Amino acid sequence: MPWLVMAALLGLALLSAALTWAARVYALRRQLLDQPGERRSHSVATPRGGGIAIVISLLVAAAVAACVWPDAAVSLAVASLGLALVAGIGWWDDHRPLPAMRRLLVHFLAAALLAGLVKMHGGSWLLSLLVLFFTASLINIWNFMDGINGIASSQAVIVALGFAMVLPWPYSLVAIVLGLACLGFLPFNFPQARIFMGDVGSGALGYAVAVVLAVAAVHTDINWILLLLPLSAFLVDAGFTLLARMLSGQRWMEPHTQHVYQRAVQAGASHPQVTGMYFVLGLFSITVFNICTNLQPRWEAAVAVAWFAALTLLWLLLRNGLRHR
């Protein structure tokens, strides 16, 4: 990798860190604070909105990439517009809470933009529909899972690392840039949280992860089910918790503390311990992912199904065990 590219990538991480510091100053000045409560996992009022640093860093990287690769400018602009839409509605919600349906409409609009890009770049209608579904889902999953210090950004780093190793150059830069933007934010949020990501960051981060997933779906031959492995820790915890809430008649969009990671904190584990456990699980998932990417498609799918079945069993065991503590 040329030294100029390495320097630019280091600069991106530093930019993210500087913007996070600035976001904290802004949040303190505006009294933009998350207060402790029954449905929260922190005990002191903490500034929020630091995820805007990740968003701006990604938009700057996209602008630079458009200058370096003019043929990709339109695609980068469309993806950036989707990111800005999700971040914008999240920023608004951080300052003045919005109805859930209004947020979801914006999320689906952004997801439709990304699905359209997939179709434009040769993806099938089925793949485009899958991208639409998973993009809208990931925006909300990252929001649901952003409940303890460092968990949302560290899992995005795991996803970025997993895909950076399988994507061809220069598409791997999409994953690398995401990981570095998160690394710039992470020291302000882990192990002690000096600022939270906020909806502006968590939703946008889910969208950015979806962009990396979509790029991998279009530019690799990896079975789409196997492509979900780097995201599996969040998909299983968020997906099955959501399903359990729906089946029990609860309002799934309301804040709650029923995810396994939240129950672990309630049971006495510290934020760093739980985030660390999810990080280790993520490392296992991307290891399995990278080992299996050269298998025949049917075996890639079989491995993925087996992995998700194992994680589902683990989720059930942990959920039931933590319920009785």
CA–CA dist 59, 44 (Å, integer):
32
71 annotated to bind ligand: no
Q: For residues 107 and 137, give the distance between their C-alpha atoms in angstroms, rounded to a whole number.
A: 9
As to burial, measured by CB atoms within 10 angstroms (0-12 exposed, 13-18 middle, 19+ buried), residue 27 is buried
- Please name the residues in contact with 286: beta carbons below 8 A apart, sequence gap of 6 or more: 158, 159, 161, 162, 165, 229, 230
**199 marked as binding residue:** yes
Query: How far apart (Å, rounded) are the C-alpha atoms in residues 264 and 261?
Result: 5
CA 120-121-122 angle, to 5 degrees, is 95
Residues at the binding site for Mg(2+) are 143, 199
Residues at the binding site are 143, 199
